[in-house]
Structure 1
Amino acid sequence: MQVLRRTVLAAAFAAALAAPFAALAQDIKPRIIRFGYGLNEQSNQGRAVKLFAQEVEKRSGGKMRVRAVGAAALGPDVQMQQALIGGAQEMMVGSTATLVGISKEMALWDTPFLFNNAREADAVLDGPVGQKVMAKLDEKGLVGLVYWENGFRNLTNSKRAVNKLEDLDGIKLRVMQNNVYLDSFKTLGANAVPLPFSELFSALETKTVDGQENPYNTILSSKFYEVQKYLSITNHVYSPWIVLVSKKWWDQLSKDEQKVLRDAAVASRDFERRDTRDEAGRALAELKAKGMQINELPPAEAARMRDKLTRVNAGIGANIGMDLWQETQAELAKLREKK
């Protein structure tokens, strides 16, 4: 009986000692990751961020959780990039075009008519060239994880259909805050106006600008059809998004935590590209149903635009470094031979 009583007392004492530690374990909070993005929650960007958040929580066993903040609530791309560099925000996804002021090599992706199709884009972005460009961010206070698809960019405006090069003359066209975009559209005859995406709808509505250029999905999810009449299919630039992490914050993570984020990012990339491409065809049909007048730029006019932009392309090569430019062209030539 005494042995039994001692056993019970010992068990009770052990339980009493363990209780505070169990409570402490329950009180350990998961690592919260603020992930900012520009589009709304219902967009292809919003859906992919949601999947990324689910993957992070699952792969970390709930120890890491993503707090997604969309609709540019944490600021436009440039503001979020600075917040990441300073360590005030953990993650974001945004356009590579807005990174050019931080890392000049990112201007490679702004080259007009660089890719003929999504297959070429995937191969170059995920291959040695894309990874080399991404790695340059490390020394700038950012870590690139993966490229997502934004898609081929097309023109919309409230003035007229763009069927030929001359139709761009004098159109006030919003472009991203990026010198390649500014130079390209000025060269093509448009009055290029740099504006943050968060200000674009209002600028179109008030006629501060006449038009803009974005992929179908963004035109639809941002409801530009409410303030734009003409959509001209130009496919003038393939514009990727990039998932970024604050290097200050990243360097504080364990290798396991970094792996969780990298693996979740790859899963989100594969989902996002499928989702975006599936949606693009539906988006174009829906934009037509909503009353937009849609025309396709004839190949001969696309060739005229490409020729007109020779100087801009030469400038991109000189700016990013001719070695990188030639490596990219060689990779594209190889891909085109495999057709």
Structure 2
Amino acid sequence: MTNIARRAVIAAALATPFLARPLHAQAVRLRFAHPHPESDSWEKCARLFAEQVKERTNGAVTVQVFGNGVLGSDQTIIASARSGALDIALTGNPFFTGLAPKLNALDLPFLFRDRAHVAAVLDGAIGNGLRGELESHGLHVLGFWDIGFRNVTNSRRAVQGPADLRGLKIRTTPNPAHIKSFQLLGANPAPMPFTELFTALETRAVDGQENPTTLIRNARFWEVQKHLSLTRHAYTAGILAMSKRRFEALPAAHQEAVMAVAAAITPQQRGMNEAADAEALAELKQRGMAVVENPDRDAMAAIVAEPVRRDFEERFGAGLPEAIAGTAA
């Protein structure tokens, strides 16, 4: 989509949202935006969310889904949801940490053991506490969706261990934990929105990036990256958040319906993403990516885990990382 076409879609979707609502007093239209491709589980589950909200409210609440970054970058959709210009935003946790820095705990390197550990944390008391971090910023969290365990790709060389990352310009999120980790490993982190990443890789503005295999496949990064290393250096959750102003304006029955559907869809989306990991890896190999399946993760963790966690603990104390690490799956 050209920039002119993208601006036209944004203008139509955001400029006059209230004029587009049905005239019936109880009819509500919610606009839901995310940056991932149409082939990704986010798009599939966003549409399931829309279908089930409509069904549960007998058609009184409809949800219009805008995927693939059509309404703007990660930061743009968060800002739009905070202002009430957008109703529901879904993007990675790292993009929310500028508002609520305690959420950075979820991005600490080598902290989560597996997805069962992730679910135990996000669906328990820790996750409930972290939801509240965004309330004062105009966002009501509906759920934590899955992006997955992050892996490194690049166009220059195989990454077997820390030494192979030195000097590589790697796109990261703007999250402090991600940036510090790659600095410690000798790479040059280059934060940028996901919506800009393919072009940056294609033009060699950056050498590589780090994301889960499902997203590497769905975003077609195999077209512009040769090497994949399964570093699994950090887990990333996606936050499904609604404009607090808009949520509180809904009738109680509609609030309950939105929350109930989000609670039902969340484990489905996580399961869909987890099941797709092996399939995505197989396709990336078939597409010609050279894969290092067992890089020296222990050596990487020895360099980054303690220093990055210490930075977090100096600001917020050791309680949250310790609670996450100590949660039983």
The two structures share one fold, judged by TM-score above 0.5: yes
What count of residue pairs does the alignment treat as equivalent?
A: 307
Secondary structure of the corresponding residue to residue 231 of structure 1 = strand
Asked if 1:256 is matched to 2:253, the reply is: yes
User: What displacement does 1:105 show?
Assistant: 1.2
Deviations 1:269-317 (A, max 9, x none): 122112111211111100100000011234xx21121111111111122
Alignment of 1:1-339 (within 5 A): 30-298=27-295, 301-309=296-304, 310-331=306-327, 334-335=328-329
* In structure 2, distance between residues paired with 1:234 and 1:255: 45
Q: State the 4+ residue runs in structure 1 displaced beyond 6 angstroms.
A: none
In structure 2, distance between residues paired with 1:111 and 1:278:
24
TM-score by length of 2: 0.90
* Shift, 1:28, TM fit: 5.2
Q: Based on CA coordinates, which of the two structures has the bigger radius of gyration?
A: 1
The unaligned stretches of length 5 or more in structure 1 are 1-24
Unmatched 5+ stretches in structure 2: 1-21
If the length of structure 1 is used for normalisation, what is the TM-score? 0.88
Q: Is the 8 A contact 1:153 1:213 kept in 2?
A: yes
Asked whether the 8 Å contact 1:104–1:319 carries over to 2, the reply is no
What residue is the counterpart of 2:16 in the other structure?
none
Aligned-pair Cα RMSD in Å: 1.5
Partner residue, 1:18: none
User: Which secondary structure state, in structure 1, belongs to the residue aligned with residue 234 of structure 2?
Assistant: strand
SS of the residue 2:232 aligns to: strand
2: CA distance, partners of 1:249 / 1:28 = 15
Task: Tell me by how many angstroms 1:222 deviates.
Answer: 0.5
- Shift of the alpha carbon at 1:42? 2.1
Per mean C-alpha deviation after superposition, the further-off stretch among 117-126 and 25-34 is 25-34
- 1:76 Cα deviation from its structure 2 partner: 1.1
**Contact 1:175 1:192 (C-alpha < 8 Å) held by counterparts:** yes
Structure 1 distance, partners of 2:313, 2:31, is: 36
1:244-287 CA-to-partner distances (Å, cap 9, x unmatched) read: 00011111112211111111111211221121112111111001
For 1:166, give the aligned amino acid: A
Indicate the percent of aligned positions where both proteins have the same amino acid.
34
Q: 1:62, 1:47 → 2: CA distance?
A: 20
Q: CA deviation at 1:73?
A: 1.1
